Amino acid sequence: MCGRRRAATLHPPIDPGVRVKPREVQRIAYATRLREGAGFEVRRAFPLPGLDQVDPFLLLDEMGPTVYAPGEAVGAPDHPHRGFETVTYVLAGEYLHEDSAGHRGSLKPGDVQWMTAGDGVIHSEQPSAQIKEEGGRVHGFQLWVNLPARDKRIAPRYQDVRAEAMPTWRSDDGRAQVKVIAGHVLGVQAQAETRSPITFVDVALDPGAEVTLDIPAAQNAFVYVFNGSMTVGALGRTARDGDMAMLTRGDTLPLRGKSPRSRALVIAGEPLDEPVVRHGPFVMNTVEEVQEAIADFQAGRFGQIAR
Ligand code: FE
């Protein structure tokens, strides 16, 4: 009796009604180099011609990696935002972020700042004074997350997650690592609170190391590789540095490292399925709301950064 029970625990009967379907690569898009802000170089995964958004995501930029000489580093001086969130994830260098809601903070390697622009802020994103003066290497990401219509005018909010506090899953042999920036993956709960269901992780794999992520099936998902190469999905399609692999719907996402220190962001979210009217830094649901945002900005209703 006892033996039977143990056997049952070790080999639970497979419920024929439950099928686990892995996500696969639907298509691969290639990030494009361009200049942003005051002229810093980014690799833009989207929006690009043919790929406006990945609902609920509006933009993904990889900033650098760039090595600045002394006096060369530039950022994004004062600019407005309304109707969405900007998520900044720094890998190298240091940035100073300030806004008209009175938030001010520095971001160091491994730090994440989840900014809900909501009703509107004037925002400034600059390399630190030290990097401007002495030069140095900067590298990071910015993701724009759309807000549902009900939240577009909420009060601005900042959430800072420091590198040392980032919830992280590691395989027993340490060859696979997953930093959980948003959502709940591999039993690890992220700190950042999101306004709609979102998953955002940074995956690092040694050659041959595997991990299978449990991303909710209702979420649109993609993989952006930013170092080396890895295989994506049960069919093992290869994605390389700068590739953005759009994924089919499924319950699991198998990933396998193909090169030393392959790295990728895996980003997923439940689609909002709402109209999107975007005009630069204003992302609303109707043309009238965008016109109102422009008028509010021009009238100075977003305030200004206290310096
Ligand atoms: Fe900004």
Distances (CA, A) of 284 to 58, 151, 275, 298: 12, 11, 8, 17
How far, in Å, from the CA of 79 to the mean position of ligand 1?
Answer: 6
Give me the residues near ligand 1 (ion), CB cutoff below 5 Å.
Answer: 123
How far, in Å, from the CA of 256 to the mean position of ligand 1?
Answer: 34
Q: Is the pLDDT of residue 1 over 60?
A: no
Asked if 220 and 55 touch (Cβ cutoff 8 Å), the reply is: yes
Q: Is the pLDDT of residue 9 over 50?
A: no
The token duo for 133 is 């003066």
Given this model, what pLDDT does residue 175 score?
97
How far, in Å, from the CA of 18 to the mean position of ligand 1?
Answer: 44
How far, in Å, from the CA of 125 to the mean position of ligand 1?
Answer: 6
pLDDT tens sequence across 174-209: 999 999 999 999 999 999 999 999 999 999 999 999
Q: Is the pLDDT of residue 4 over 80?
A: no
Asked if 152 and 82 touch (Cβ cutoff 8 Å), the reply is: yes
Given this model, what pLDDT does residue 5 score?
40
Nearest to 21 by CA among 233, 186, 180, 306: 233
How far, in Å, from the CA of 81 to the mean position of ligand 1?
Answer: 7
Give me the mean pLDDT over the 201-221 stretch. 97
Q: Is the pLDDT of residue 223 over 80?
A: yes
Q: Is the pLDDT of residue 23 over 70?
A: yes
Task: Examine residue 47 and say whether the peptide bond preceding it is cis (omega within 30 degrees of 0).
Answer: yes
pTM > 0.85? yes
| Per-residue confidence band for 17, with pLDDT thresholds at 50, 70 and 90 | low
Q: Is the pLDDT of residue 282 over 90?
A: yes
pLDDT tens sequence across 120-137: 999 999 999 999 999 999
How far, in Å, from the CA of 265 to the mean position of ligand 1?
Answer: 20
How far, in Å, from the CA of 191 to the mean position of ligand 1?
Answer: 22
Q: Which residues pair with 283 in a beta bridge?
A: 278
How far, in Å, from the CA of 206 to the mean position of ligand 1?
Answer: 34
Q: Which residues pair with 204 in a beta bridge?
A: 177, 263
